[in-house]
Structure 1
Amino acid sequence: MPRGFGGGRGILVVVVVLALIWLGSGFYRVLPDEQGVVLRFGEFVKTTQPGLNYHLPTPIESVLTPKVTRVNRVEIGFRAAETVRGSAVRQIPEESLMLTGDENIVDINFTVFWVIRNAGEFLFNIRSPEQTVKAASESAVRESIGQIPIALALAEGRREIEQNTLRLLQEVLDNYKAGILITQVQLQKVDPPGPVIDAFRDVQRARADQERLRNEAEAYRNDIIPRARGEAERLIQESEAYKQEVVARSEGDAQRFISVYTAYKVAPDVTTQRIYLETMEDVLRGVNKVLIDKNSGGSGVVPYLPLPEIARRSGQPATPSTSSRTPTGGTTQ
């Protein structure tokens, strides 16, 4: 140092300035999409949130700032790649072919989306995060597929598979303390294997026809059974009404017979005459009748032939020569 700088005092000032610079180097900034991971002599100590933070200067402590808001994705069963002609998909059968609960093989492609939840655990508890997520995802989806039949997996069971896989995968990663949060499991394809897909579709169409015919039969049954029950109930009610009518009529006839018998015991002649008149009334009610006054003594009575009535019944018009004449001395009705 030059003599004019002050000798030992100048050296002290330089040391102090250097110390301040060294201490000031411990300030660091964590961006909004990052999380700070503080290391003390290479050992994980703590995590810090976005903003201005401080750690002991190097070489005592250091900091890593991985991006924790970036959504990462893992493809299982296929690999998508961008080419000059567009996107291309390469199938990986050893990952996509899985066994369902009813012992059928299904071809599944799915994608797992994940983010870093705890940067310290993510950096130091697992060696290869992407491979870990991939292996755990494949295991979880195989377990989910193995619990449902293939018909459900190809239809309305896709949502159930996604939810079960996400739950199982998150449990596995939490047990590993991987510091990873699974945000979504998305099924891309759920189909039968390629060599048997045509035969499988024929089976599915046959099952659909079976279900359709079964539904039609059920609809017919639901239509005909209530109608038959209603018809049976109507017949029962009509029979019951007829029974009551016959019983009431029989009871009335019996009561009328008893009344006539009682009257006959009191006045046999009058009752006999009454029964005769009522009987003749019933017999002659619908018959054409000719009444002749017996006081005429039968003189002047001419036989009557109803030619107009006969012609009307036979459909032929009556001729003028076949006119009818009423008997003299009598009355025709």
Structure 2
Amino acid sequence: MAWKNQGGGPWGSGPKGPWGSGPQPTGGGPRPPDLEDLLRRAQDRMQQFLPGGYFSGLGIAVALLAVLAIWGLSGLFRVQPDELGVVLRFGKPERTVGPGLRYHLPFPVETVLLPKALRVSTLNIGFSSEATPRRGGREVPRDIPEESLMLTGDENIVDVQFTVLWRIKPKGAADYLFNIQNPEGSVKAVAESAMREVVGHSNIQGILTNDKDKIQLEVQELMQRVLDGYGSGILVQQLQMGNVNPPNQDVIQSFNDVTNAKTELESLQNQAQTYANQVVPGARGRAAQITQAAEGYKQQAVAEAKGQSARFLKVYEEYKKAPNVTRERIYLETMERVLGGSDKLIYDGGPSGQGVVPYLPLSELTKRQGSQGPTPQQGTGGSR
């Protein structure tokens, strides 16, 4: 039905327009556009495009195509860098998509949920950080005793504050959305329960001194097992223990003294171990050297004894063949070995002997001449 501008338009009769203003004068300034005139022109153009009117077959087809185009484009969505897109088909998880511009079938066939699956969340237990106006807006930790006070295995009370870093598993976004109702509350409850269980099996001395790393690892593994049992789709990335103190301030200094003493003891033990590592290998090396020298001497003595025994047996065999000759040869060899390095005088004691016979030690002269070097009268290459 065409718009007919009768009686001042659809807002009633009279010269006033839709905002209560009358007709504008023809002169004296620019005239604002007439809304009714613009609408009428648009209708005329549409009628030219659709000769049969809005309710003709072509008009209905164009309208349906426009609606379908808008409906189809409604499936476009964007996943932010710290998000994962979980596409639901009739309410059931169908697939998980990463960051970027994505598409799903339009509503009501498919919908999408965008959890912050790539962001690491921090959860403090036993304390909270709050911005205080008096401190210039800085975060000031506030103790929460109902969360941090725990009973140890030796029936002591200890104040344990710790922080849990957690995130959604890469393939657990659907479990995170549908298996747990309050993720942060669930992680906090599981963390506090796991810490109480591990602390309940430990002694206060170890908790305050050198068992923190062990306790952190045990609590993290226990939390992960419990959360996996719930099918939560949550990954415990790290657990960090903060302040661990006895609840009574009067005994904190005593425990600190014990901790310092244990630290000093460990330092002295490390120094002693370092000294032992330096001394023991040297002692073992010297012991091995002495053992090897003794073994070598043993083998040498045994070999010499065997050689002398074999030599004696051979001499004895020859002696049995010619006793006189062998006895004479043994005598001469013995005298040569005994008198070979001593000064000698030759005495002729026969009937026609001359007494002491002159003896020229040519071997001694040769040795002395070789030690002194060539004389000046001797040449090095030819005759004088």
1:165 is aligned to 219
Q: Is the counterpart of residue 151 in structure 1 residue 200 in structure 2?
A: no
Note if 1:112 corresponds to 2:164: yes
Which of 117, 128, 131 is the equivalent residue of 1:79?
Answer: 128
**Do residues 184 (structure 1) and 233 (structure 2) align?**
no
The residue number in structure 2 matching 1:290 is: none
Which residue identity does 1:121 align to in structure 2?
D
The residue that corresponds to 2:189 in the other structure is 135
Q: Per the alignment, do residues 14 and 144 of structure 1 end up closer, same or farther by CA in structure 2, a change over 3 Å counting?
A: same
Distance 1:110 1:78 in 2: 8
Query: Is 1:89–2:141 an aligned residue pair?
Result: yes
Offset, 1:58: 1.4
Kept in 1, the 8 Å contact 2:149–2:158? The answer is yes
In structure 2, distance between residues paired with 1:175 and 1:43: 22
Q: Could you tell me which of 2, 16, 23 is aligned with 2:72? A: 23
The 3-state SS of whatever aligns with 1:46 is strand
Task: Please report the RMSD computed on the Cα atoms of aligned residues, expressed in angstroms.
Answer: 3.1
Whole-Å separation in 1 of the counterparts to 2:78 and 2:185: 30
Q: Which amino acid aligns with 1:182?
A: V
Q: Which residue of 2 aligns with 1:302?
A: none
Residue 102 of structure 1 pairs with residue 154 of structure 2: yes
Number of aligned residues: 217
Equivalent position SS for 1:110: strand
1:35 to 84, 97, 103: 84
> Cα offset for 1:195?
4.5
TM-superposed CA distance for 1:76, in Å, is 0.9
Tell me the residue number matched to 1:58. Answer: 107
Q: Which amino acid aligns with 2:149?
A: L
More displaced 10-residue stretch of structure 1: 74-83 or 50-59: 50-59
Length-normalised TM-score, structure 1: 0.58
Q: How far apart are residue 16 of structure 1 and its match?
A: 2.0
Corresponding residue SS for 2:118? coil
Give the % identical residues.
46
Cα distance, 1:104 vs. partner?
1.9
Give SS of 1:141's match.
Answer: helix
Q: Classify 1:5/1:35 alpha carbon distance in 2 versus 1 (closer, same or farther; 3 Å).
A: farther
Q: Which amino acid aligns with 1:68?
A: A
Secondary structure class of the residue paired with 2:51 = helix
- Quote the residue 1:124 is aligned against: 178
Match of 1:204 in 2: 258
CA distance in 1, matches of 2:184, 2:211: 27
**2:246 is the counterpart of 1:175:** no
Aligned with 1:4: secondary structure?
A: coil
Task: State the shift of 1:89 in Å.
Answer: 2.1
Deviations 1:140-161 (A, max 9, x none): 1112222322111111111111
Q: Is the alpha carbon distance of 1:163 and 1:5 closer, same or farther for their aligned partners in structure 2, counting shifts above 3 Å?
A: farther
TM-score, length of structure 2 as denominator length: 0.51
What amino acid is aligned across from residue 57 of structure 1 in structure 2?
Answer: P
Q: Which whole-Å CA distance do the structure 2 matches of 1:119 and 1:167 have between them?
A: 21
Letter in 1 for 2:148: S
Given the superposition, is the C-alpha separation of residues 88 and 11 from structure 1 closer, same or farther in structure 2, using an over 3 Å criterion?
same
Q: For structure 1, which segment, 132-141 or 78-87, has the greater mean C-alpha deviation from structure 2 after superposition?
A: 78-87
Inter-partner Cα distance in structure 1 for 2:101 and 2:120: 24
Question: Can you give the 5+ residue segments of structure 2 that lack an aligned partner in the other structure?
Answer: 2-46, 273-384
The one-character-per-residue Cα deviations of 1:144-179 (angstroms, maximum 9, x if unpaired) are: 222322111111111111111111111111111111
Report if the CA contact (8 A) 1:125-1:178 is conserved. yes
Q: 1:181 to 1:154 in 2, by over 3 A?
A: same
**1:91 maps to amino acid:** D
Alignment correspondent of 1:69: 118
Specify whether residues 5 and 161 from structure 1 end up closer, same or farther in structure 2 by C-alpha distance, changes over 3 A only: farther
Equivalent position amino acid for 1:81 in 2: E
Q: Larger RCO: Structure 1 or Structure 2 (Cα < 8 Å, ≥ 6 residues apart)?
A: 1
Query: Is the 8 Å Cα contact of residues 77 and 93 (structure 1) preserved in structure 2?
Result: yes
Partner Cα distance (1:82, 1:32) in 2: 28
Contact residue 192 and residue 200 of structure 1 kept, 8 A: no
Residues 110-140 of structure 1 deviation map (CA, whole Å, 9 limit, x = unaligned): 0111112222211111111111000000011
Counterparts in 2 of 1:52 and 1:89: CA distance versus 1, 3 Å: closer
Q: How many angstroms does 1:183 deviate by? A: 1.1
